[in-house]
Amino acid sequence: MIALETVAPVIEWQSLSPVLIVLGGACLGVIWEGVLPRRLRNPFQIVTLLAAIIGALTMLTLNFLHASLATDAATSVDPKVGLLAVGTLCSDGPSMAAWFALLVFGGLALLIFGDRQLNQGASAFASAAATTPGSDEEQLADTIGREHTEVYALGLFSLAGMMVFVAANDLITMFIALEVMSLPLYLLAAIARRKRLLSQEAALKYFLLGAFASAFFLFGAALIYGYSGSFQWAGIDSAISGGSTSGVAVVTFGDGILITGVALLAVGLLFKMGAVPFQSWVPDVYTGSPTPVTGWMAVGVKIAAILGMMRVFYVALGGIRWTWQPVIAVVAVLTMVVGVIMALAQTNIKRLLAYSAVSHAGFILTAVVGTQFYVGAGQLNAIGSVMFYLIGYGFATIAGFAIIMMVRRGSAEAWDLDDWAGIGVKNPVVGVLFAIVLLSFAGIPLTAGFIGKWAVFTSAWTGGYWWLAVVGIAFSLVAAYLYLKVLIKMFFAPPAEGVRVAKASPFVWIPVIISTIATLILGLLPGPVMQWLSTLEIFIR
Amino acid sequence: MTFPLLTCLGLLPIIGAAILILPVRAAGKWIGLGFALATLGLAAAAVPVYLGDPTALTQTVPWIPAFGAYWALSVDGMGLTMVLLTALLTPLVLFAEWNITGKGTKWTSQAFAALVLLLEGLSLLVFMADDILLFYICFEATLIPMYFLIGGFGGERRSQAALKFLLFGLAGGLIMLVSVVGIGSFSQQAIGAPTYLISQIGVSLSGGSTWAWVLMLCFLAAFILKAPMVPVHTWLPTAAEEATPGSSVLMVGILDKIGTFGMIRICLTLFPVESAAIAPVMIVLALVSIIYGALAAIGSKNLLRLVAYTSVSHFGFMVLGIYTFTSVGLGGTMFYQVNHGFSTAALFLVLGFLIKRRGSANVADYGGVQSQAPILSGALLLAGLSGLALPGMSTFVSEFEVLAGSWSRYPWAAIVAALGTVLAAVYILLMYQRTMTGPATPEVEETITTDLTLKEKLVAFGLAAVVIILGLIPNLALSVITPTAQETLTQIGVADHQAPLGEEVPA
């Protein structure tokens, strides 16, 4: 009898389970579309979505509680902190925290897809996306009440892509995750119920530019492979740092190929986070996409892109940080400046928030540049600061775009800033909630936005980039003016005629209330979350 | 652990504000007043505890350990008097602005009470904070309720005034943020862990280094913007002109004191070397404020603007007292902060009663009010005299102390500042003469038909009584203030400069 000598790869099922559950939920969503009658699809999709998110969060919590995040990773015997799935993913403090954040925000943002009250019984998505806008077919689809219920499944796919992206341990995994997270978003961007041409234009722009960015990323990955002979972070790092004890790296080509590769890789990543000079898609795509989708992509993609970037640039490319840090510092300044200044000129609330999202990428980049990992025990390192900023930004963004869905002229969303005049007086509850969102964006104390700004600027300063922190603070003031302008309009201007706050279903209200309360709690008592983030330690190699 | 009196004191008004979010309708003002009075009760309860043992009230609880931030509250003599001032003025303002509503908007008296309570709680926390981060957060957060108080209840151009107020405030706040972020970073380098406790930071900053200068200047810039000194005072007259008198009382009487308070609490304590070096500059700025504020007050055509400019002048005196580096001058400033709060409150509120009747704040629209409303004009005279520091009023004691302190170190400054006291008499008496004396104009006869009501009398004469009592028995306040002033000077290692009585003044 001959035994088969195949060694099966070790797959850490439990550690991977959060991603697998989300992907499973997405696949189930696709199956529902095929086997269920139309009227059952929506409830099944929503239950599947919630079950997937809650299941993934539960497994993640269990994993986290068992994972000992010891100070010294070398002496840690816990297999859950380490490389997963034959070294393609890493499970460490930052990736777990990012998964927590992505799952929570995913749950909140995708729940908003379920609202059917704001559009009089229909969802925010086109009834039949394949029909020509304004055609008879569209009319027909509207009349018989067709709808796209696969949006939830698409949302879950993008969520799974983001989760893999932040935990990727090599360039190929990262690239695949990039595509998994982006492709569903290109689709989702295209299927707004109203202003469909705008939505289709946005999707096309997003797709074309996104495809370019992916190509840049891939080209960069190829060049870095050419330099280092490895796709994995550890291999690239050892090739760069020269200490090639592993024997993997045999550097044949000069630094030119490495630097070019890094630059191209950076283009791909900076595009995804919407940093200047790769920001031009942001306002168009954020405005044209269905508003619930805008909320999700503003939060999810930003978290994924920034944490992914920190991982690549510090773990794999940390050896040449003196080369790229000044460049990214300049990008950070440009992003803050362009984001804030362009936002000042906007008269459309969605475009305004889009440029504000650009500026937030700049504020976060200050900490990415000034990263100093090795701080004392129990203190917040740069990853923790960035995480906290992203969490605060995420809650405010989700609530902000959800509230934009509620303010309507006639039956369409009122995007014109002038239409927002007096909303705070017409409907004080919505007014106060949106005020909290704006104050958090502006970084006014008692909101999460302030603590986040504080954290990233402190990180930048401690990391030696004090001037970047000062520039950041200066532009915070300009940005504050921007949000206050909106606030003034909402509360002190004479109310605009014909604009109302439409009745929304709990699908919108629950995320809005949770997000605004979280914004306040994180601003008043950031201690526990900070404490948790400061136990995360750094990226493993 | 003992009863956290200061925490309760700071949080009680904020809880009250939170309760007022509920739709309680007509009960709103009663709830607001109730919370304000309860806060006053707590503040009063803190006095015997403090007199028994000044450190008994201190509280330090870790708040954001990752930043080294603490929920640390304590009071010294200056903090305690400011807390009492805040706790006294708040119910008074709520009482005086009982039936307030926004002009042409839906802003209600309930919203007013909620905002005032929020402002009170945050200001109390600023005056009690022992931790820079806590201080900073509350310092910045006070801007929000004040912004809505101006923007929601002000006059015609209220939204511009509110924006101007907020932008100046935010500019100061963000300049200060540079320092605060820097302090966290430096304490981390010096001690190994970031800390924001005022008592621990002092150790980590070496005096005279470039960074100490930068940090101190950023703090100072923020405080100069807050306690408006010429040339960055312009937001104050605009805001005071547009806000309701009640809001102005809180803004000038309490919020702006954070500026001078911060100079003592942060600049002097943490950066003694740099503060001493910059003292001459600050004294010149203070003198400019004193004279410019007084001259602008004389030239003001609007009553509320006039009071705002008098405050610019008064803040000049306070800053002068701080940078004399003498216990007399410093104590004088601490006392001045309190007195100015009461006397300006009296001026703003009595003028508010007057303006409500006539419907205009222009000086030119008045004349001969005395004959129509003698009690009102009497109240205005009392308030005005307290503003010009008449002997017998508490303001006289503090102004004299500041001048005496300044004389002992910088006689030339004392001489220029004394000119300010003369100008003060001019702007107050000129204002009184133009509005109150002479024959009543037809418009005045037509509009001002009633004298002060019982409620208004209570407010006006209550404030005047406080000023007179503190003027006759200044030791009520000075007995807690003077030790604090001396302690501050000892702490920063400056020998007290005794007034050279009976000696030749060195040339």
The confidence band for B366, taking pLDDT boundaries of 50, 70 and 90, is confident
Q: Which of B7, B14, B21, B67 to mutate to test the interface with A (most CBs of A within 10 A)?
A: B67
Query: A514 CB near a chain B CB, below 8 Å?
Result: no
How much is the pLDDT for A358?
95
Interface contact flag, A484 B65, Cβ < 8 Å = no
Distance from C-alpha of A171 to C-alpha of A321, rounded to nearest angstrom: 18
Domain assignment present for residue A17? The answer is no
The confidence band for A119, taking pLDDT boundaries of 50, 70 and 90, is confident
Interface contact flag, B193 A493, Cβ < 8 Å = no
The per-residue b/e assignment along B89-106, b for 16 or more CB within 10 angstroms, e otherwise, is: bbbbbbbbbeebbbeebe
pTM here?
A: 0.86
Query: B248: which 2 tokens?
Result: 């102005």
Distance (Å) from the C-alpha of residue A458 to the closest C-alpha of chain B? Answer: 5
How much is the pLDDT for B202?
67
Distance (Å) from the C-alpha of residue B178 to the closest C-alpha of chain A? Answer: 6
Look at A165-174, A182-191, B352-361 and tell me which has the smallest mean pLDDT: B352-361
**Is it the case that residue A290 has pLDDT exceeding 90?**
yes
**Is it the case that residue A364 has pLDDT exceeding 90?**
yes
Chain-wide mean pLDDT for chain B? 87
How much is the pLDDT for B496?
66
Domain assignment present for residue B370? The answer is yes
Looking at the partner chain, which of A445, A480, A488 has a beta carbon nearest the beta carbon of B137?
A445
Residues of B in contact with A480 (CB under 8 A): 167, 170, 174
* Section A116-138 average pLDDT: 84
Provide CB contacts within 8 A for A294, sequence distance 6+: A286, A287, A350, A354, A401
Residues comprising chain B, all counted: 507
Distance (Å) from the C-alpha of residue A480 to the closest C-alpha of chain B? Answer: 8
**What is the H or E stretch that residue B443 is in?**
helix B442-447
Distance from C-alpha of B74 to C-alpha of B50, rounded to nearest angstrom: 10
Residues spanned by the domain of A187:
22-534
Amino acid at B347: L
How much is the pLDDT for A73?
45
Q: Name the burial class of residue B214, with classes exposed (0-12), middle (13-18) and buried (19+) by CB atoms within 10 angstroms of its CB.
A: middle
Looking at the partner chain, which of B105, B106, B178 has a beta carbon nearest the beta carbon of A473?
B178
How much is the pLDDT for A253?
67
How much is the pLDDT for B208?
64
How much is the pLDDT for A81?
64
Q: How many domains in chain B?
A: 1
- Comparing CA positions, the residue from B241, B46, B45 lying closest to residue B162 is B241
Q: Percent of chain B having pLDDT more than 70? A: 95
Amino acid at A285: V
Distance from C-alpha of B162 to C-alpha of B141, rounded to nearest angstrom: 15
* Section B362-387 average pLDDT: 88
Domain assignment present for residue A12? The answer is no
The confidence band for A1, taking pLDDT boundaries of 50, 70 and 90, is low
- Sign of torsion, CA B121 B127 B129 B135? positive
* Section A468-484 average pLDDT: 89
Q: How many domains in chain A?
A: 1
- Comparing CA positions, the residue from A519, A528, A507, A489 lying closest to residue A118 is A507
Query: B214: which 2 tokens?
Result: 């930068």
Look at A371-385, A493-507, B453-467 and tell me which has the smallest mean pLDDT: A371-385
> For B502-507, which contacts have Cβ atoms below 8 Å and span 24 or more sequence positions?
B505/B411
**Is it the case that residue A373 has pLDDT exceeding 70?**
no
How much is the pLDDT for B286?
94
Domain assignment present for residue B323? The answer is yes
Which residue does chain B place closest to A379, by CA atoms? B66
Query: B341 CB near a chain A CB, below 8 Å?
Result: no
* Section B100-117 average pLDDT: 81
Work out the number of other CB atoms within 10 angstroms of the CB of residue B162.
27
Q: Percent of chain A having pLDDT more than 90? A: 49
How much is the pLDDT for A56?
94
Domain assignment present for residue A539? The answer is no
Looking at the partner chain, which of B64, B152, B166 has a beta carbon nearest the beta carbon of A484?
B166
- Comparing CA positions, the residue from A433, A329, A458, A439 lying closest to residue A392 is A439
Extract the runs of DSSP E, i.e. beta strands, from B37-191.
59-64, 69-73
Query: B161: which 2 tokens?
Result: 């005034």
Distance (Å) from the C-alpha of residue A298 to the closest C-alpha of chain B? Answer: 27
A126: left (phi over 0), alpha (psi -120 to 50) or beta: beta
Q: What angle do CA B102, B106, B108 make, to 5 degrees?
A: 65
Query: B19 CB near a chain A CB, below 8 Å?
Result: no
| Terminal C-alpha separation, chain A | 42
State the angle between helix axes of A349-369 and A281-288 in degrees (0 to 180), rounded to the nearest 10: 130
Distance (Å) from the C-alpha of residue A336 to the closest C-alpha of chain B? Answer: 16
A87: left (phi over 0), alpha (psi -120 to 50) or beta: left
Three state DSSP letters for A82-104: EEECCCCEEECHHHHHHHHHHHH
Query: A78: which 2 tokens?
Result: 């816990």
Distance from C-alpha of B14 to C-alpha of A376, rounded to nearest angstrom: 35
Q: What angle do CA B38, B44, B49 make, to 5 degrees?
A: 125
Look at A301-315, A336-350, B187-201, B281-295 and tell me which has the smallest mean pLDDT: B187-201
How much is the pLDDT for A275?
92
Q: Which of A439, A451, A454 to mutate to test the interface with B (most CBs of B within 10 A)?
A: A454
Q: pLDDT digit string (tens) for B233-275?
A: 889 999 988 888 889 999 999 999 999 999 998 888 888 888 8
Domain assignment present for residue A540? The answer is no
Lookup result for tokens 């400046």? A337
Distance from C-alpha of A10 to C-alpha of B479, rounded to nearest angstrom: 77
Q: pLDDT digit string (tens) for B30-83?
A: 888 999 999 999 999 888 888 888 888 888 888 887 778 888 898 888 999 999
State the angle between helix axes of A448-462 and B158-191 in degrees (0 to 180), rounded to the nearest 10: 40
Domain assignment present for residue B255? The answer is no
How much is the pLDDT for B203?
59
Query: A234: which 2 tokens?
Result: 């550890």
Cβ pair A359, A479 in contact under 8 A: yes
Looking at the partner chain, which of B133, B148, B193 has a beta carbon nearest the beta carbon of A379?
B193
Distance from C-alpha of B432 to C-alpha of A512, rounded to nearest angstrom: 55
Amino acid at A502: A
The confidence band for A72, taking pLDDT boundaries of 50, 70 and 90, is very low
- Comparing CA positions, the residue from A276, A273, A297, A300 lying closest to residue A286 is A297
Chain-wide mean pLDDT for chain A? 87
Enumerate the β-bridge partners of residue A91.
A82
Amino acid at A278: F
How much is the pLDDT for B504?
47
Greatest mean pLDDT range, A77-86, B98-107, B381-390? B381-390
Enumerate the β-bridge partners of residue B69.
B64
How much is the pLDDT for B271?
86
Distance (Å) from the C-alpha of residue A447 to the closest C-alpha of chain B? Answer: 10
* Section A371-399 average pLDDT: 82
* Section A53-67 average pLDDT: 85
Query: A448 CB near a chain B CB, below 8 Å?
Result: no
**Is it the case that residue B277 has pLDDT exceeding 60?**
yes
Query: A395: which 2 tokens?
Result: 């809650």
Residues comprising chain A, all counted: 541
Look at A19-28, A202-211, A532-541 and tell me which has the smallest mean pLDDT: A532-541
How much is the pLDDT for A204?
94
Domain assignment present for residue A3? The answer is no
Distance from C-alpha of B150 to C-alpha of B163, rounded to nearest angstrom: 9
Cβ pair A210, A267 in contact under 8 A: no
Interface contact flag, A444 B167, Cβ < 8 Å = no
How much is the pLDDT for A245?
47
How much is the pLDDT for B507?
43
The confidence band for B276, taking pLDDT boundaries of 50, 70 and 90, is confident
Domain assignment present for residue A16? The answer is no
In Å, how far are A188, B211, B326, B329, B385 from B403, measured between CA atoms? Answer: 72, 33, 11, 7, 18
Which residue does chain A place closest to B186, by CA atoms? A462
Backbone dihedral angles phi then psi of residue A195, each to the nearest 5 degrees: 50, 55
How much is the pLDDT for A410?
84
| Terminal C-alpha separation, chain B | 56
In chain B, what is the greatest distance between 2 CA atoms, to the nearest angstrom?
Answer: 74
Residues of A in contact with B144 (CB under 8 A): 439, 444, 446
Q: pLDDT digit string (tens) for B330-354?
A: 999 999 999 999 999 999 999 998 8
Domain assignment present for residue B68? The answer is no
Q: pLDDT digit string (tens) for B180-198?
A: 888 887 777 777 777 888 8
Q: pLDDT digit string (tens) for A511-537?
A: 999 999 999 999 888 888 888 888 777
Query: B170 CB near a chain A CB, below 8 Å?
Result: yes
- Comparing CA positions, the residue from A135, A194, A113 lying closest to residue A410 is A194
Enumerate the β-bridge partners of residue B73.
B59, B129
Look at A72-76, A470-474, B204-208, B390-394 and tell me which has the smallest mean pLDDT: A72-76
In Å, how far are A299, A303, A309 from A159, measured between CA atoms? Answer: 11, 11, 17
In this prediction the ipTM stands at 0.79
Q: pLDDT digit string (tens) for A398-456?
A: 999 999 999 998 888 889 999 999 888 888 889 999 999 999 999 888 899 999 998 89
Work out the number of other CB atoms within 10 angstroms of the CB of residue B22.
12
In Å, how far are A89, A346, A439, A484 from A492, measured between CA atoms? Answer: 52, 19, 16, 11
Residues spanned by the domain of B489:
271-500
Distance (Å) from the C-alpha of residue B341 to the closest C-alpha of chain A? Answer: 26
